[in-house]
Chain A
Amino acid sequence: MDTQITLRVDGAAQPLTVDTRTTLLDALRERLRNTSPKKGCDHGQCGACTVLLDGRRVNSCLVLAVTVGDAEVTTSDGLAEGGRPHALHRSFVEHDAFQCGYCTPGQVCSAAGVLAEARAGWPSAVTADLAAGDVELSDAEIRERMSGNLCRCAAYANIVPAVAAVAESSGVRR
């Protein structure tokens, strides 16, 4: 059943006619040719499709495009401003935090969400003191918070220092 929508993606409004069954991931990749988010499992289990929706990380494979409305969709592409890579992009390169890179745009969007959530004082399953307002983004915290992003190349080890370096340079408590 076709429906008219307008997606706001990486700062640009994109009018589209989509079947109601279209996910945000498929609208981005197949209709708007934005291949930044990747289709991995297509069931919310691998995180390769992670984008930011009004600044919050979500699995775009489980979001129906018709439900997005006016929300701002930001892909890993859109994190780069004026052709200049985001600090997370640069840190992933500097720390060799990927091998094939397929899952990397999702990892980068997820890491952007992790930094915002830590700044807001949100706890995680490994936070010792839930009553404390602040969060110290230890390596264990980064591991837990990035656990919704799976990589089969076994490059996990370098992702943690890549995210940690950006946390430190952007004033998130460590």
Chain B
Amino acid sequence: MREFRYERAPDVAGAVALLAGAPEGAFLGGGTNLVDLMKLGVATPDVLVDVRELVSREITELPDGGLRIGAGVPNADLAADRRVRERFPVLAQALLAGASGQLRNRATTGGNLLQRTRCGYFTDVTKPCNKRSPGSGCGALEGVHRNHAILGQTIAGSAGPATCVATHPSDMAVAMVALDAVVRVLGPDGERSLPLAGLHRLPGDDPSRDTTLRHGELITAIDLPALGMPSRYRKVRDRASFAFALVSIAAALRVEDGVVRDVRLALGGVAHRPWRATAAEYVLRGLPATEASFAAAAESELEEATPLRDNGFKVPMARNLVVRTLLDLSEALR
């Protein structure tokens, strides 16, 4: 591990100022991902600014019935919060589907959003990876990629400088994208807010950048607007617990007189970012809440899928997951 200076600040503004003066520095939240990446030599900050005790650990009410979640709230506390369990079950289920009890106790809400891909070529410094070492190529494209992306990847050959087929690993973020969450950020230039759907990037021509945050910007809170409809998270993985998603889904559905009035869908494990299924949502609104409609919606979303040699199974898996989850939600509404 590279040597680093450990810094604390009196408040979040001080922490932001400290990092602004450290171009190779990083914020430290729970450290469950960052410390691991530092041990592997994948992350090499020279300064760590510890913000775990600085950012809010409170969950507060918003005027519309939504919630503001401080970026320092541990994943375990967020999943256990009664308001989250009652109003946003999709979020509690997503959190509980992720990691282990030990990790959820330490990991923070802000840090969860910024965790990095678990692609084996990214975490192995002896392998090529455009995300870790821009321009070095992509080992996954023609290598082991059963867990990799089927939507929104950049594929220009394994030596292509922009090729990246990695997936975003967070379950929590998939639920939050479906919930139209808003991220509140403090940076060297002050505060700003952005939709969570605009936080994570597709690889495009620079896979090394996971997010649209600038250096020194700190996530301080996440706002969840009121939802007002039933919601559910479902995750398919290789073992029953403590494994990343092959495919996951966050869904919310409102049906009136047998017709879909509102729907929110996001997929995990399929792309470089949590994948909001806007095409499927568009198709579904106004259609009868039937299996045929749900299948048509899923097909429209997955038309653009470009699976790799060994992960084609994710396409029918995602389609079946959309259909099954929406059927369950519509049956629960009856």
Contacts and interface: CB of A to CB of B under 8 A. Distances in A.
Question: Which of B6, B28, B100, B103 gathers the greatest number of chain A CB atoms within 10 Å?
Answer: B100
Interface in B204-245: 240-242
Interface residues of B, number: 37
Given A1-B4, A124-B96, A131-B86, A62 B101 contact: no
B92 interface: yes
Categorize the interface residue count of chain A: 35 or more
Contacts of A19: 3
A90 to B, nearest CB: 23
B6 A123 contact: no
Contact of A147 (B6, B32, B92, B100): B100
Contacts of B79: 122-123
Contacts, number: 111
Contacts of B317: none
B80 A122 contact: yes
Contact of A20 (B6, B103, B240, B241): B6
Interface in B38-80: 38-39, 48, 50, 52-53, 76, 79-80
Contact of B6 (A57, A66, A122): A66
B126 interface: no
A110 B104 CA distance: 13
A58 B92 contact: no
Interface stretch (A27-35, A91-99, A113-121, A153-161): A113-121
Contacts of A44: 32, 36, 102-103
Nearest to A20: B6
Contacts of B92: 123, 130
A63 interface: yes
Interface string A70-110: 00000000000000000000000000000000000000001
Contacts of B1: 21
B35 interface: yes
Given A43-B36, A62-B36, A148 B85 contact: no
A110 B36 CA distance: 20
B307 interface: no
Contact of B100 (A20, A47, A69, A131): A47
B76 A122 contact: yes
A143 B239 CA distance: 13
A28 to B, nearest CB: 15
Given A21-B3, A59-B102, 16 more contacts: A1-B6, A3-B6, A21-B38, A58-B105, A58-B106, A62-B103, A63-B31, A67-B52, A114-B101, A117-B80, A121-B80, A122-B79, A130-B92, A143-B241, A144-B240, A145-B101
22 contacts: A1-B4, A20-B5, A21-B4, A44-B32, A44-B103, A56-B105, A63-B35, A64-B35, A66-B6, A67-B28, A114-B101, A122-B80, A123-B85, A125-B93, A125-B96, A130-B85, A130-B89, A131-B89, A133-B82, A144-B241, A145-B101, A148-B99
